Each structure stands twice: as C-alpha cells, then as structure tokens.
Amino acid sequence: MALENEIKSWNGFIKALRSDDREAFEQMMNSCRSHASAAGNATRPVLLEAMFMSILLAQQKALMGIKKEVAGIKKHPD
C-alpha cells in the first residue's frame, strides 16, 4: 500500500512525460512491485531507497542478460 501511494505521488511527473518515457517509467515501477516483499524485508526507513534498489536490480539483470547474449553472438557469429 505504501508503495502504491508513493507511485501515485509521482502522477504529476508521469503526466509530463512523453508516452515512450511513461512506458519506461511504468516498467520501473513494475520492478518495484516485483521486489516489494524483498524491499519490505530490508526495513529501510526511506521507501524510495528500496524502490531505487529494486530498479537498479532490474537494470543490472537486464544488462547481464544483454552481455550474455552478446558473448554468445561473438562465440557463434553467423
């Protein structure tokens, strides 16, 4: 509930974004939602810290996946 309230507090910012940026923002917020239980267990006093860490974790996982894919392409070029 606190997470959704924090996300809603950004509505003015979201409305000012272009549609492709809004989509990216929503994906970041979905990362926060996906890691909400882990963030809750972190017992951080500032909710935004847990949200940022969730977003960073999702970005890191995506980067690791891209690196793995590129390494595979380099090993087996067509």
Q: What is the DSSP string of 9-23?
A: TTHHHHHHS-HHHHH
The model's pLDDT over 47-65, given as tens digits with 9 standing for 90+, comes to 899 999 999 999 999 999 9
Tokens representing 9 are: 């507090």
User: Would you list the domain boundaries of the chain?
Assistant: 2-75
The model's pLDDT over 4-63, given as tens digits with 9 standing for 90+, comes to 999 999 999 999 999 999 999 999 999 999 999 988 888 778 889 999 999 999 999 999
How far apart are the C-alpha atoms of 49 and 29, rounded to whole Å? 13
How far apart are the C-alpha atoms of 51 and 20, rounded to whole Å? 21
Burial class (CB in 10 A: 0-12, 13-18, 19+), 17: middle
Total length of the chain: 78
